[in-house]
Structures are given as C-alpha cells and as structure tokens.
Amino acid sequence: MDTASSTEKIVKLDQGSIVSPKGFKADGLHSGVKKKRRDLGVIYCDTPAASAGVYTLNKIQAAPLYVTKESIAQEGLLQAIIVNSGNANSCTGEEGMRDAYKMREEGALALGIPENRVAVTSTGVIGEKLDMEKIVPGIHQLKPQGAFSSADQFNEAIMTTDIVKKHSCYQTEIDGKTVTFGGVAKGSGMINPNMATMLGFVTTDANIEPQYLQQALSEVTDQTFNRITVDGDTSTNDMVVVMASGHADNQTLHPGHSQWDTFIEALCKTSEDLSKKIARDGEGATKLIEVNVRGAKNEVEAGKAAKQIAGSDLVKTAVYGTDANWGRIIVALGYSEIEFKSGHNRYFIRKHSNTEEQYTYYVFGRRRQALSRTGYSTDICRSARRKRCWKAWGCDLTYEYVRINAGYRT
C-alpha cells in the first residue's frame, strides 16, 4: 500500500501514552505476585469501546486467552483490560480457568461494568497457579487515572524479563477531527513471528465498528507483530488487543472511507514502534536486526525470506560479534523456501550509529567495511522494478540470553 500521502499527516507524540486518546485511563500496582515490582495493571475506557484481538498461534493457550476471546466475541466491546505479570496462568487446568473468570468478575465489580466488557491476560511463569489471595484485593485497589504517570505504572506492571518500558503514540486528522493512537507492550524473550510472545495494547479515540477494527488489526499485525523474532519460541499467552473509544467523533471508519489508509497507517506506525522495541529489548540483546526485502514476487515470499534471516542463529551470533559474515545471510535466504537465482540478487548490510546512519554493503561478496556496534540492517534486493519493501526484525544472540533463560524460574 502506498502510504506516502497519509504518512505526512501522522505525527509522533514523544510524550504520549495509552491514556492520550480521549476516554482512557490506566493504573498499575504491586499486588505481591512478584517480590518487588508492580505486577497488576488495568486499562479502562469511560465508554464501551469497539475492540479487537489477535492471539498466539501456539496450540497450547493459557486460560486468560479463552476468557478474553469470549468477552470480545459477545459484543465486540470492552471497557477494561486487567493484566497481571509474574504468573502466566497457563497449563493450570480447570482451576486456572476459574481464576481467569474470577479476575474478569472482580474487575467488573471493581469498575462497575458488565463482566463481558472486561478482558484479562497474564504473563510470566507457565504451570504455576495464580495467588488469587493477592490478585483479587489488588484488582480492587486499582484506581485508573488519565495521567502519563498512571500509564507508566501500567507499563511497568506488565513487564517480565523486559529491561525497558515500551510505548508509542501517534496523532493524525480524520474528517477534520484529531485522532490519537497510544500503544504499550511487553516482551523480550520467547518471541517468534506468528503473533507470539508478547502482550500489546493499543488505544485510540477513532470512531470505528468492531468488525472493521478487527480487519484493521489483522492486517497491521501481519506487517508488524508477526514480523519479529528473538529466539524462535512461540508462547502460550500472547495477544494484542485494540480498543477504540469513538470520542474523536470522526465519521465511522470502514474500508470505503476516504481516509481508511490514514487510519491503517497510524495504527501500523504505533504497532511497528512497539514491535521494534520488543525486538531491540530481546533478552540479553545488544543490537536490533532489521531485514528489508525488495523485489519479491509477493508478500508471502518476502515474509519467508525476511523472517528466516532475522531468525537465523548464525546470523544473530555474527551480529553479536560484529562479524560482517554475509555468507550466513545467503545461507538463510537459500533455505527460506523461496524461489530465486542467486546470481541475480544483491545483498546489502547496513550499519547504524547513535548519531547518524552509515552504510556498509556487500555486492556479490566484496567486503567494504566492518559492522558497527549499535545496529544492523540487511537489505535483500531482487529486482529494481519492484519497489515495495517488506521488513522483519530480530536481535543478536548473546551469552546473556543463555544466562537469563537458564535461571528464569530460580
């Protein structure tokens, strides 16, 4: 999709958050599930918000996913999302399902809204039962507010092995009305393309019906959240949920709306920011990897190539060692199951610094310069006639990743 015209109308708000769109509040606190850090949070909307979700493709799915799917399926409307970290409530049997429903019930009581308008989700250790004696009182202590500090507390409450908080905010104009998008996410390990291993929440005050919001989220997820990888593992809990309050008072959005592409692009920018921050914050990571594929036959082929390169352990370790080993890129491309003639391709390795972007490139194997220690980007160019670019993101693989995951439970 050509989004050049719509992109000019979209502005990033560096101080924005999930409470920047009209109608939204948030909070986060320490309930005691974790030893010290905040571990329970809520996003609240003052009106029933059109809502949509996408979920992990792992065949083993945690109890909260079933409850959230059920809530959204009833009306396509939510007013609150209750999240706990430190415990995934996954593989916990019938008791885990009862606990997930209990979280929804108590959230509805605390906020004075119907149960089916509450989503719940959990993240953390798999196979351990929730400590409901801490969770239930904590839910009733949550006091959603519209301040940035409240959104920041929610951000902390959903983190597990994350090192940094991840948020994004954009603003655009639709039908002469200001429309805002706020996003927050967690995730740093057990991440692989195909909607996995993260929690992502996006709020917007756009006016849109639930079925079209679901269509938009599914499209954007394929371009962003489904294109990141840290370690090739797909979790049991992960989801992205979007809530739209409608308070911007624009005309109802749908694919035939003259500014539908603007809405999609703003949602995509918010989601891409979160996706790249998740990849950059991969457990033990020191570098972000970005793979760009140009000139592919179609998006399916481009996606396969980009994901294979970004997820290759040999590429990831080469990046960690700042070893510009272009042969590993070609090897990953070769087993990505796409059709191509190796002699007709060009391969570029691009490096980034904190102050400016410089380029390091290889054409048919001729070395030009060493990689930087701050970032790494690979361009696969197959045809000058096809200009569209498909992307995927990952991170390097380090000794620290092994240390973190070797002692995750202990």
Catalytic residues: 197
Place of tokens 């756009």: 206
CA distance 312 to 320: 12
